[in-house]
């Protein structure tokens, strides 16, 4: 139950918003690209080393005391394999965004997702059949790690060739690191709030569901299915929506900076329309053929009963991506952080109370819906306040 929340939390901390800072510095062209990349990479690896050591010591406590399942220590330790890989790929991705080169990002994302998908299709069902859900979760984590390796290889292929790297380029620049941290720390606040909420989510769920008489095994099984199978399944449209929203950020930022508010509005509305069309089309297929799709992707129908309840909530959440991207484009991210905090607190309260009302695990499903609706509504109000809608 702790695997996905813990991995999200540790990955968020490990990246520290470095990609955004790198994108800014590279786009401005006032600093040496080589010094930026090497300085940030050095800082990132130090943070990653600390997090891996921390994870090594925390894993026994998290698995034994917080969710009372000693077997979870193995997937928790596997997270340490992913952390440095995601950090390196995000740093290189930030460089390409700064150069306004979207082809490496597109190719990398496609091959990364394809690698994960093929590994999950070919191996995870066999692992689940021959072993248990714990080993299947480890398989999902390995799939993520392999996807990151493929992503890094693709990015390295697109990096400039025959670059003259001097000895001083390899030496971390304290000034560059300080400038990077000044930008990266505030921008990661919203993600950290969401990650901390996600981290405490399984702890509260375990407490709440045990209190109503559900067994530890049932809770771990259902939450594992929800986070390991159903959530990634419903997140499939986000890949395309995120790509569209990321692509319009520079255009909205430029239009807003030139006081061309009408163009910024048009770009956001187009992004919202495309998000609606993609989400609607994919969700209709998921709603009609959930059993067939689960069988095809995961070779199982576990969690089938939850999909149709969750689809409307995730469809609403698809609109949040362009809304947040537009706020990032105009530099209004503080409100996003507040919105995330409010919705996260509301979700945790819902997780604690709804199962007590006779909803059992469906209280968890409803809590997810409450969070998504609240967050999208608050972000919509914020965007409207800024005059973009």
Confidence at residue 13, expressed as pLDDT on a 0 to 100 scale: 82
Q: Is the dihedral of CA 149, 155, 159, 162 positive or negative?
A: positive
Contact between 223 and 198 (Cβ < 8 Å): no
For residue range 275-287, what is the model confidence (pLDDT) as tens digits?
Answer: 899 999 999 999 9
Instruction: Please classify residue 301 by burial: count the beta carbons closer than 10 Å to its beta carbon, then call 0-12 exposed, 13-18 middle and 19+ buried.
Output: middle
Instruction: Please classify residue 276 by burial: count the beta carbons closer than 10 Å to its beta carbon, then call 0-12 exposed, 13-18 middle and 19+ buried.
Output: middle
Pairwise CA distance, residues 131 & 125, whole Å = 10
Output DSSP code: residue 159.
S
Q: Please give the average pLDDT of every successive group of 10 residues along the chain, which has 389 residues.
A: 73 79 70 74 87 86 65 81 88 79 79 85 79 80 89 85 64 73 72 78 88 86 84 83 72 75 88 91 92 84 88 92 80 79 92 90 93 93 87
Confidence at residue 224, expressed as pLDDT on a 0 to 100 scale: 82
Map tokens 């929506």 to a residue.
241
Map tokens 């069988």 to a residue.
295
Pairwise CA distance, residues 36 & 85, whole Å = 19
Confidence at residue 372, expressed as pLDDT on a 0 to 100 scale: 93
Map tokens 């609606």 to a residue.
276
Confidence at residue 49, expressed as pLDDT on a 0 to 100 scale: 92
Contact between 360 and 212 (Cβ < 8 Å): yes
**Token pair of 135 as six digits:** 């080993």
Confidence at residue 221, expressed as pLDDT on a 0 to 100 scale: 85
For residue range 335-372, what is the model confidence (pLDDT) as tens digits?
Answer: 888 888 899 999 999 999 998 888 888 999 999 999 99
Q: For residue 213, what are the contacts with CB-CB under 8 A and spacing of at least 6?
A: none
DSSP string, 135-186: HHHHHHHHHHHHHHHHHHHHHHHHSPSS----HHHHS--HHHHHHHHHHHHH
Confidence at residue 34, expressed as pLDDT on a 0 to 100 scale: 74
Map tokens 């299947």 to a residue.
136
Pairwise CA distance, residues 342 & 340, whole Å = 6
- Its pTM stands at 0.71
H or E element: which one contains 291? helix 290-298
């Amino acid at each position: 139950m702790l695997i996905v929340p813990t991995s999200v939390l540790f990955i968020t901390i490990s990246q520290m918003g470095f990609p955004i800072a790198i994108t800014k510095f590279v786009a401005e062209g006032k600093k040496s690209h080589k010094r930026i990349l090497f300085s940030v990479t050095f800082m990132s690896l130090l943070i990653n080393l600390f997090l891996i050591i921390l994870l090594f010591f925390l894993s026994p406590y998290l698995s034994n005391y917080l969710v009372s399942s000693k077997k979870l220590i193995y997937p928790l330790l596997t997270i340490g394999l992913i952390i440095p890989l995601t950090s390196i790929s995000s740093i290189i991705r930030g460089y390409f965004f700064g150069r306004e080169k979207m082809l490496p990002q597109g190719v990398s994302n496609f091959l990364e997702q394809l690698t994960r998908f093929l590994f999950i299709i070919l191996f995870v069902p066999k692992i689940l059949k021959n072993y248990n859900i714990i080993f299947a979760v480890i398989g999902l984590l390995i799939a993520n790690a392999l996807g990151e390796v493929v992503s890094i290889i693709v990015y390295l292929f697109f990096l400039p060739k025959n670059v003259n790297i001097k000895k001083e380029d390899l030496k971390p620049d304290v000034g560059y690191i300080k400038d990077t941290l000044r930008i990266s720390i505030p921008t990661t606040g919203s993600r950290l709030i969401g990650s901390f909420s996600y981290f405490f989510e399984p702890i509260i769920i375990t407490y709440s569901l045990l209190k109503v008489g559900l067994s530890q095994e049932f809770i771990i099984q259902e939450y594992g299915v929800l986070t390991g199978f159903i959530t990634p399944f419903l997140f499939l449209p986000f890949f395309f929506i995120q790509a569209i929203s990321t692509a319009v950020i520079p255009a909205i930022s430029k239009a807003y900076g030139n006081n061309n508010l009408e163009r910024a509005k048009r770009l956001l509305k187009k992004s919202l329309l495309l998000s609606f069309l993609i989400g609607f089309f994919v969700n209709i297929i998921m709603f009609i053929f959930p059993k067939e799709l689960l069988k095809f992707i995961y070779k199982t129908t576990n969690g089938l009963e939850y999909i149709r309840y969750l689809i409307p909530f995730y469809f609403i959440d698809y609109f949040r991506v362009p809304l947040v991207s537009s706020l990032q484009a105009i530099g209004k991210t503080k409100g996003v952080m507040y919105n995330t905090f409010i919705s996260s607190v509301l979700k945790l309260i819902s997780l604690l109370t709804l199962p007590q009302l006779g909803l059992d695990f469906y209280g968890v499903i409803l809590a997810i819906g409450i969070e998504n609706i609240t967050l999208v509504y608050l972000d919509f109000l914020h965007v409207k306040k800024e005059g973009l809608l």
